[in-house]
Structure 1
Amino acid sequence: MKAITVGERELREAVTMKEAIDAVRRGFVDLAGGEFEMPTRTALRDGQFLVMSAHHRSTASAMFKTLSVNFERKPAITGTVVWSETGRLDHLVADAGAVTALRTGAVVGVATDLLAPPDAGRLTLIGAGGQAPDQVRAVHAVRPLRQLTVVDADRSRAQALIGALEPELPGVELLTATDAVSAVRRAEIVCCATNATSPLFPESALPAQVHVNAIGAYRPTMRELPDELLASSTVVVDELDAVLEESGEIIHALEAGAITKDALTELGTALTAPTAEYGKRTVFKSVGVAVQDWAIARLLADKFLA
């Protein structure tokens, strides 16, 4: 019996964004079908330490992730993802920061593919931190981009991200901005990847038809979206129990009476619904759940433990 260790470089070489999106999509379908035992994650010190786990019944496999989060350091996320399966003696240990970035991008790819207009190609990304590159890659994988605007209070960070992504985005118009309100006015897709504690823009700043992904706020004290946007949109969430406990946007909107629990649709349900009709504005809110990590860990296990 041995442990196979997979670092960020090995993960990036082994798993494409398309593979990650497909794997996470299958994971959420299985979640909706009752295939997972998945406790709500344990959060300590207001989310600075997180513990997540998921057991996939039909494959008798399990994933356990422990990590620490500190936005004052680089990388902000450190920790380990451990994969084990009753049919295999060996187990896999992967870098939690790399897995988290990839799986967070992948779930946005799944939601964007489901909810964004088929011809959407103008993306505004708010936040140029560690999660940002995979947000762009995931959206581009399902909705080929014509234009990308990266918004960050520190324009040099936005420019650095644009420079890093440019080789992957030939023919895409690449822009930077410091003002989120003006940057979202002509967006067809918006991705929010910040640690904000108050809304990044008012609902009135958005066009009539737009899809918004919000993945940055993962604690009740954090919030990227205004109540009015949630009230006027079709809202899909990664997992109901998770967002009711951890999402500042959802908790605030419910307490304000802007939305009700009945207005929230889980991603797995939305993927398996035979006929889904969505309005002109759609929102995907994710706090991150263990099925996403399980999906990436299973891909790695199939590649490295075969």
Structure 2
Amino acid sequence: MIVLSAEDVRRAVAMSTAIDAVRDGFRELAAGNFVLPPRQIFGDGAVLVMSAYHSPTGTAVVKKIGIALDQVPAIRATVIWTGDGEQLVAEGSSITTLRTGAVVGVATDLLAPADASRLTVIGTGAQAPDQVRAVLAVRPIADVTIVGRSAERAAVLARDLAKEFPDIRFTSGTELGDPQIVCCATSSSTPLFSADDLPDTVHVNAIGAFRPTMRELPRDLFTDSTVVVDQREAALEESGEIIDAVESGTLSTNDLVELGTALSAPPPKRSRTVFKSVGVGCQDWAIAHALAQRGPENSAP
């Protein structure tokens, strides 16, 4: 059995590798090669259990997540991957932030303007750094703005990321500015902005809201946007903003394009594009599979 710490995960899988792995995972999902049971939710979302079985390889992953939004870190998780007579157990919070960043990288690469150079990230929690890393991996970003409820935390995150990416300009504040790409990574229960706050041409990623009671995006954003989701069934069960938009008649279920389908048949793009993710098991499988392929001699020190 291979046991990996968060540091082992980070050393073994770079963001560019994670993006490629997750992109392949969604293509496999669209091809019907995964069995994805519905996510099990306990204690009003305090504990989540996700699983995925990849039929062609006979490999599987199970992830248990504990969520306490009033604590730091807010997410604690463990991932177990099995296949080919091997078992891999890894610290799951690092895999969660990595795979969530990676899926945003996949969607941004598909939907955002090819020359986009301005990124705004709303949120200063554990997910935020990998949102930045993923977008930087697929677009020529020159300016990044970090927005958060705490100006101090936003400034600290901006300074930390500036050390990691010294050639990019990082600022912090409370205003969206004039972004070409927006990443939302918060636990908000109310929309973070109105559609009028955004430029006419923009790509928006939203990954923070994972319960029906949560909403990062405003209803009016969906009126004239191309909308891509990680999985339609999951979004209709768990995404507060998608549920609200469908129930209000702003969106129909036919308006929701699944990411795996969009990768092979890109949808017509309006000037505004939205990617909404609640997270699905094939993402965890993709990262765990990448770790397992490296073998014990390369996965751990």
CA distance in 1, matches of 2:293, 2:144: 34
AA of the residue aligned to 2:207: I
Cα offset, 1:240, TM superposition: 0.6
CA distance in 2, matches of 1:108, 1:50: 21
Aligned to 2:131: 135
CA-based RMSD of the aligned residues comes to: 1.0
Aligned to 1:174: 170
Aligned to 2:188: 196
SS in 2 for 1:29: helix
Structure 1 residue 287 corresponds to structure 2 residue 289: no
Deviations 1:163-206 (A, max 9, x none): 2111222222211012xxx41x4100000000000100000111
Aligned to 1:254: 246
Aligned to 1:7: 5
CA distance in 2, matches of 1:37, 1:55: 5
Aligned to 1:76: 74
CA distance in 2, matches of 1:304, 1:109: 26
Aligned to 1:241: 233
Query: What TM-score, normalized by structure 2, do the two folds share?
Result: 0.97
AA of the residue aligned to 1:115: L
CA distance in 2, matches of 1:171, 1:81: 35
AA of the residue aligned to 2:234: A
CA distance in 2, matches of 1:256, 1:193: 24
AA of the residue aligned to 1:141: A
CA distance in 1, matches of 2:10, 2:136: 17
SS in 2 for 1:13: helix
1:16-165 aligned within 5 A: 16-85=14-83, 87-88=84-85, 90-165=86-161
AA of the residue aligned to 2:92: A
Please point out which of 203, 218, 230 is paired with 1:226.
218
SS in 2 for 1:282: strand
AA of the residue aligned to 2:103: V
Q: CA contact under 8 A between 2:193 and 2:218: conserved in structure 1? A: yes
Cα offset, 1:305, TM superposition: 4.2
**How much identity, in percent, do the aligned residues show?**
53
CA distance in 1, matches of 2:120, 2:185: 11
CA distance in 1, matches of 2:21, 2:37: 20
* Range moving further from structure 2, 41-50 or 11-20: 41-50
AA of the residue aligned to 2:164: E
CA distance in 2, matches of 1:58, 1:114: 26
Deviations 1:230-265 (A, max 9, x none): 121000000011000000000011111111001000
SS in 2 for 1:81: strand
Please point out which of 215, 222, 241 is paired with 2:207.
215
AA of the residue aligned to 2:226: T
Structure 1 residue 277 corresponds to structure 2 residue 273: no
Cα offset, 1:44, TM superposition: 1.1
AA of the residue aligned to 2:272: R
CA distance in 2, matches of 1:40, 1:142: 31
AA of the residue aligned to 2:52: A
Q: CA contact under 8 A between 1:124 and 1:148: conserved in structure 2? A: yes
Q: CA contact under 8 A between 1:92 and 1:305: conserved in structure 2? A: no
- List alignment gaps of at least 5 residues for structure 1: none
Deviations 1:253-291 (A, max 9, x none): 111111100100000000011x54211100000001100
Aligned residue pairs total 297
Q: CA contact under 8 A between 2:62 and 2:80: conserved in structure 1? A: yes
Aligned to 2:290: 299
AA of the residue aligned to 1:241: E
CA distance in 2, matches of 1:94, 1:304: 13
Q: CA contact under 8 A between 1:191 and 1:212: conserved in structure 2? A: yes
Query: What TM-score, normalized by structure 1, do the two folds share?
Result: 0.95
Q: Which runs of 4+ in 1 moved over 2 A?
A: none
